[in-house]
């Protein structure tokens, strides 16, 4: 029986964890240790922001009564700067006392995984899922790709450098009740642009960084031929969605790839609907709420359009 406290310590220490657990356990583990972090950070900031006015405004009123209008005006100006400084000081104190919250882009990877598992938890055989989670920082030499792995823009200025980092965030292995097997892989990629310049007046060297994050979600399914009939199909969406359905001698293969920059949007869903000749009637919010994420939505629509047919005798 998995121990929640032990797994939490392993993840905090090693920045990764791997094992076979009940799907409900994984959902609870991700929500408690990863999903709720952003909300906790927001609550801390709100707490700090609510404390500052309690200090600031009574002080302004007191100065106004004692010294008059000019002193109160000066106190307001000085108080604004003091509040900004005090905000960061209190934030630092909270981080030291309660622990720093990691809310980098890797948490988005687990958000996608969470919604995917939530959507099919009742279809997983014995409710068992083998997961490998990785929360290590991406901007390290270990994750940096060689220059030969990507194409640099033409005419790149000498003062600009581009680095690409990539790491696997999650791999999930599971089996459906009818014998079908599935694997979900989530990869994070960060493109870092470094620009060096010299100030015209100060002549000081300046370095600016711009970073873009992309996520690649890959779902691979092996469907038994005795349970499923498929129509070989290839769908390529310009917004980053790719679907391939293949029929082999002993099995059927379904591969769904999705590339997203931040959170899943309705763009790819709309593109898929267009290619399957289905009107996009629902809003983005309803699509995501009904299908939980674009991967599940894509799979559902393959069944709806009879690209994948479950045989009547399949359990």
Highest mean pLDDT among 33-42, 51-60, 186-195, 207-216 belongs to 186-195
- The count of C-alpha atoms lying within 13 angstroms of the C-alpha of 296, restricted to the half-sphere facing its C-beta, is 19
- Flag whether pLDDT at 41 surpasses 80: no
CA distance 34 to 112: 12
Q: pLDDT class for 292, splitting at 50, 70, 90?
A: very low
Residue 50 pLDDT > 90: no
Q: Are 131 and 172 in contact (CB under 8 A)?
A: yes
Cα 37–40–42 angle (5° rounding)?
110
Q: What is the mean pLDDT of the chain?
A: 76
Examine the pLDDT at 234 and tell me if it is beyond 70: yes
Report pLDDT digits (tens) over 105-150.
Answer: 556 778 788 888 888 888 899 999 999 999 888 888 999 999 888 8
How far CA 181 is from CA of 22, 95, 118, in Å, comes to 16, 43, 17
The 10s digit of each residue's pLDDT in 302-311 is 999 999 998 8
Range 186-197 average pLDDT: 90
Q: Look at phi and psi of residue 132 and say left if phi exceeds 0, alpha if psi is from -120 to 50, else beta.
A: beta
Tell me how far apart the alpha carbons of residues 123 and 121 are, in angstroms, rounded to a whole number: 5
pLDDT recorded at residue 56: 58
In contact, 169 and 49? CB cutoff 8 Å:
no
What is the maximal distance between C-alpha atoms in the chain? Answer: 90
Whether 186 shows a pLDDT value over 70: the answer reads yes
Beta-carbon count within 10 A of 52 CB: 16
Higher pLDDT pick, 12 / 270: 12
CB 17 within 8 A of CB 11: yes
Where are the domains positioned within the chain? Answer: 4-24+104-310, 39-98
Q: What is the pLDDT of residue 111?
A: 79
Using pLDDT thresholds of 50, 70 and 90, give the confidence band for residue 9. confident
What distance in Å separates the CA atoms of residue 215 and residue 109, rounded to the nearest whole number?
7
The percent of residues in the chain predicted with pLDDT above 70, rounded, is 64
pLDDT attached to residue 185: 94
pLDDT of residue 91: 63
The span from the CA of 150 to the CA of 113, in Å, is 27
Q: What gap in Å lies between CA 128 and CA 205, rounded to an integer?
A: 55
């Amino acid at each position: 029986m998995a121990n929640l406290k032990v797994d939490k310590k392993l993840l905090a220490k090693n920045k990764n964890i791997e094992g076979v657990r009940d799907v409900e356990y994984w959902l609870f583990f991700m929500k408690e240790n990863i999903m709720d972090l952003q909300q906790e950070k927001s609550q801390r900031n709100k707490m700090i922001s609510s404390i500052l006015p309690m200090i600031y405004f009574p002080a302004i009123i007191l100065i106004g009564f004692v010294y008059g209008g000019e002193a109160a005006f000066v106190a307001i100006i000085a108080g604004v700067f003091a509040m900004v400084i005090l905000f960061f000081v209190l934030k630092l104190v909270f981080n030291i006392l309660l622990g720093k919250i990691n809310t980098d882009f890797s948490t988005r990877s687990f958000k996608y995984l969470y919604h995917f598992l939530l959507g099919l938890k009742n279809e997983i055989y014995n409710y068992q899922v083998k997961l490998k989670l990785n929360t290590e920082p991406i901007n390290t030499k270990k994750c940096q790709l060689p220059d030969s792995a990507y194409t640099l823009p033409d005419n790149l200025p000498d003062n600009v450098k581009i680095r690409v980092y990539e790491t696997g965030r999650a791999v999930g292995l599971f089996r459906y009740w009818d014998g079908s097997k599935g694997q979900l892989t989530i990869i994070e990629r960060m493109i870092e642009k470094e620009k060096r310049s010299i100030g015209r007046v100060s002549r000081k060297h300046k370095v600016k960084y711009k970073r873009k994050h992309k996520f690649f979600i890959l779902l691979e399914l092996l469907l038994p031929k005795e349970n499923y009939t498929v129509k070989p199909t290839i769908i390529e969406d310009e917004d980053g969605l790719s679907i391939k359905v293949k029929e082999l001698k002993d099995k059927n293969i379904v591969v769904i790839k999705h590339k997203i920059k931040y959170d899943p949007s309705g763009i790819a869903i709309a593109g898929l609907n267009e290619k399957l000749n289905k009107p996009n009637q629902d809003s983005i919010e309803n699509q995501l709420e009904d299908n939980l994420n674009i991967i599940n939505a894509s799979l559902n629509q393959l069944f709806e359009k009879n690209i994948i047919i479950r045989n009547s005798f399949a359990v």
